[in-house]
Structure 1
Amino acid sequence: MPTRLRSPASFTLIAALTVAVASPVIAQKTYDTGASDTEIRIGNIMPYSGPASAYGTAGIIEAAYFRMINDQGGINGRKINFISYDDAYNPSKAVEQARKLVESDEVLVVFNPLGTPSNTAILKYLNSKKVPQLFVGAGSTSFGDHKAWPWTMAWQPPYQSEGRIYAAYILKEKPDAKIAVLYQNDDFGKDVLKGLKDGLGDKALMIVAAEGYELSEPTIDSRIINLKASGADVFISVTTPKSAVQAIRKVAALNWKPLYIQGYASASVGSVLKPAGLDISQGILSAYYAKDGSDAQWDNDEGMKRFTAFLAKYAPDYSRNDISTVYGYGVAQAMVQVLKQAGDDLTRANVMKQAASLRDFVPDIVLPGVKLNTSANDHYPIEQLQMMRFTGEKWEPFGPVMSGEINR
């Protein structure tokens, strides 16, 4: 039989198929606005000025951490462009800055915007734009509500968890207590108060007085006077730094001697306890998930060694004794972990998917036993705290790491 010749086109097709089968599949790089082969743009909103300016340190440390990552070659060869704006702890200003980050700066994510009022104000906007509002710097339970706000994820333990943990401590150590609460009259203060009541359960009547103050009030002295008059022997201060300092001073001035619990949002030695006065801060209780940089017990801890070395090189003017410094380092480390997991799929959807796929991630600064775990149904990375007591010039943790998991 005559031999049938293939056409040149047939040879070309066969050769192409052979190469396709023999060659490994090359992963496709996928980008959304804010990412490219060379850059990842991350937006941030911080109160660098205004009544909560003490928290602005966190943004400075985050910027320094990303500089370190860039000096090390970036993330998969991409440098982080960190764009951080001041909102002065003003919700309307936060909305303005969020729009600027998304519509003008075209960031991939809005990372660790700080403050309950500000985050509440930008929540709907960022979710409508499907821009990750990632590792929110506030503990309102709404920031972990994955059903209502799928593009938002919390960072620190929910404030309701904090309130539940204080309730458990009081029920065990002072079951006949009369409790007075000073709280900021927004979702921040109300959430801690709700967690406290939920934790006390049928003993919630132990709360004999509660005063909500407005952030605009120049002083909370009169509220402290009212709370003392209630006859309470336990005082819980759910305050931002300025009001926390005032509360510590006024309680001392009134010679009131309650069991004093300071909410973790203002438990910083550097920005609260020292300005208030270390002598009058002795014995104050709080709860936290991170190591206290002022405590020498962590000097030989590997994670704290890395943290201390980072500060020495990239933020030498900032103290490891400041909770905001520790905080900024830890949350930036988590952001980098998420971006590493995202690989070359730097879409907003995949960034959220990876943020919801943390498995026993342990930042350098968290207490032993605290691990970050998330899922599609769990947008609260941290739900564990340990009680601590201020002694001398540092916080001393005591008791077990406690879970204050809330009902979802």
Structure 2
Amino acid sequence: MMMRPFTLGVCALACAVGSASAAEKKYGPGVTDTEIKLGQTMPYSGPASAYGVLGTVELAYFKRLNAKGGINGRKVNLISLDDGYSPPKTVEQTRKLVEDEGVLAIYGTIGTPTNSAIHKYLNSKKVPQILISTGADKWNDPKNYPWTMALYPSYTMEGRIYGKYILQTKPNAKIAILSQNDDAGRDYVRGFKEGLGDKAKSMVVAETTYEVTDPTVDSQIIKLKASGADTMFNMSTPKFGAQAIKKVYELGWKPTTLLVSVASSIAGVLEPAGLEASQGVITAVSAKSVGDPLWNDDPVMKEFVSFMKEIGQEGKLTDAGAVTGYISAIMMHKLLEACGDDLTRENLMKKVASIDEPTLPMLLPGIGVKTTPTNFSAFHTLRLQRFEGKGYVLFGDPITD
């Protein structure tokens, strides 16, 4: 009879210890003691296949991280599926990742039309759609879409910076605009005109758009040249950005060219267009450019170059997408690490809503990443650079919008 209270005490103690252990570890879908499962879709094929390098770099980053022990003893299993930059395919592949694979989060998916196709679905399922690679304004809406956040400068903000630059340096410019006919294109153009202010109506002399399914933009460029414009705002994705630069050069047209960051890659756009044709192109940037002599002795640049060689992607060193993927993987690594043993979708989004990184490897000095529960826009400052010779050269001071 005397043993009974003692037995009950032991049981109570065991239960308390068990409860404490359970409280220490909280797992959402896709998480175990040994694994964190993430999903994404990438355009490894199709009209935007140049962006596939982001997925290649992100996969390699986590593979290397796993070889070193992973995150808090857990290996990151990133499942990266091809969507061909086709929204219906994105929906199909994302459903597979969420419903069949049971991933913790959808991470890093590229593109405005592709992410738009899964936006409502993922929020209705309360699945994080995070660090996506698109700068459309719609991703910064934590009140209505609390599960979505992008890791890319706002297209509208970038557009405003170009507009302000032209207003200050060429106040009498005659401007022609080429843009993709989607949310990304409209955000960029709206921001650009906001930057021009009241003078937008008189300065913009021609506008035309293209569809992502168009074979070329040659006819659009011919139309823009005929307007007599001396300045061009080129809002396009890599394939069409290269075509536009090349056609402008072939026509003997020499406008001041503002090229949006999503199409600013040397390897993915300027080299295919022709380096001679690309001279003088101006773009806004948040990250360091490989090949810029300014970073020759920079330890961070040396580490990135070493990483790219290690994963067999030395040929993509000057591809801006490779740098974007690298920064994204580091940010995802930090978020998962910050979650500790509370690897639930809810806690992951809490960390997403409170990022405060004054800098990250490969970001330019003065540019950091910061979010709050009411503002998921991660970037607030950019710099301008001009293509000269075989690389970009920064000019001017950091510009905060």
- TM-score bracket, normalised by the shorter chain, equals over 0.9
More deviation, 294-303/180-189: 294-303
Per-residue CA deviation, residues 363-404 of structure 1 (Å, 9 max, x unaligned), is 211111111111111111123211100001101111111123
Of the three residues 123, 126, 131, the one matched with 1:127 is 123
Matched, 1:151 2:186: no
Q: Equivalent residue of 2:24, what SS?
A: coil
Contact 1:318 1:325 in 2 (8 A): no
Per-residue CA deviation, residues 51-104 of structure 1 (Å, 9 max, x unaligned), is 100000110000000011101110000001110011111011000011010001
Give the Cα separation in 2 of the matches to 1:17 and 1:29: 20
Give the Cα separation in 2 of the matches to 1:318 and 1:110: 28
Structure number with greater Rg is 1
1:219: how far off? 1.4
1:305 aligned partner:
302
- Which runs of structure 2 are paired with 1:341-380 in the superposition (5 Å)? 341-380=338-377
Matched, 1:101 2:97: yes
Q: TM-score, normalised by structure 2?
A: 0.95
Structure 2 vs 1, CA of residues 317 and 301 (structure 1 numbering), >3 Å: closer, same or farther? closer
Matched, 1:139 2:118: no
Give the Cα separation in 1 of the matches to 2:215 and 2:347: 44
Give the Cα separation in 2 of the matches to 1:51 and 1:232: 28
Q: Equivalent residue of 2:178, what SS?
A: strand
Give the Cα separation in 2 of the matches to 1:60 and 1:183: 27
- Displaced runs of 4 or more, over 4 A: 6-22
Matched, 1:217 2:214: yes
1:3 aligned partner:
none
Contact 2:359 2:366 in 1 (8 A): no
1:310: how far off? 1.5
Structure 2 vs 1, CA of residues 81 and 361 (structure 1 numbering), >3 Å: closer, same or farther? farther
Contact 1:140 1:158 in 2 (8 A): yes
1:42 aligned partner:
38
Alignment-mate amino acid for residue 214 of structure 1: E
Per-residue CA deviation, residues 151-181 of structure 1 (Å, 9 max, x unaligned), is 0001110100110100111111111111111
Structure 2 vs 1, CA of residues 18 and 54 (structure 1 numbering), >3 Å: closer, same or farther? closer
1:66 aligned partner:
62
1:315: how far off? 3.4
Calculate the aligned-residue CA RMSD, in Å: 2.1
2:171 aligned partner:
175
1:305: how far off? 2.1
Give the Cα separation in 2 of the matches to 1:377 and 1:170: 32
Q: Equivalent residue of 2:106, what SS?
A: strand
Alignment-mate amino acid for residue 273 of structure 2: A
Per-residue CA deviation, residues 313-363 of structure 1 (Å, 9 max, x unaligned), is 223444321111111111010000000001100000111111111112522
Of the three residues 204, 207, 216, the one matched with 2:204 is 207
Matched, 1:91 2:54: no
1:299: how far off? 2.4
- Which runs of structure 2 are paired with 1:329-348 in the superposition (5 Å)? 329-348=326-345
1:120: how far off? 0.7
Alignment-mate amino acid for residue 260 of structure 1: T
- Corresponding residue pairs, total: 399
Give the Cα separation in 1 of the matches to 2:157 and 2:298: 27
Of the three residues 248, 251, 270, the one matched with 1:251 is 248
Identity level (%): 47
Contact 1:156 1:383 in 2 (8 A): no
Give the Cα separation in 1 of the matches to 2:360 and 2:200: 36
Structure 2 vs 1, CA of residues 326 and 18 (structure 1 numbering), >3 Å: closer, same or farther? closer
Alignment-mate amino acid for residue 259 of structure 1: T
Q: Equivalent residue of 1:382, what SS?
A: coil
Give the Cα separation in 2 of the matches to 1:171 and 1:271: 29
1:13: how far off? 6.5
Q: TM-score, normalised by structure 1?
A: 0.93
Give the Cα separation in 1 of the matches to 2:67 and 2:177: 47
Q: Structure 1: where are the runs of 5+ without partners?
A: 1-5
1:391 aligned partner:
388
2:27 aligned partner:
31
Give the Cα separation in 2 of the matches to 1:396 and 1:229: 31
Alignment-mate amino acid for residue 81 of structure 1: N
Q: Equivalent residue of 2:357, what SS?
A: coil
Q: Structure 2: where are the runs of 5+ without partners?
A: none
Q: Equivalent residue of 2:288, what SS?
A: coil
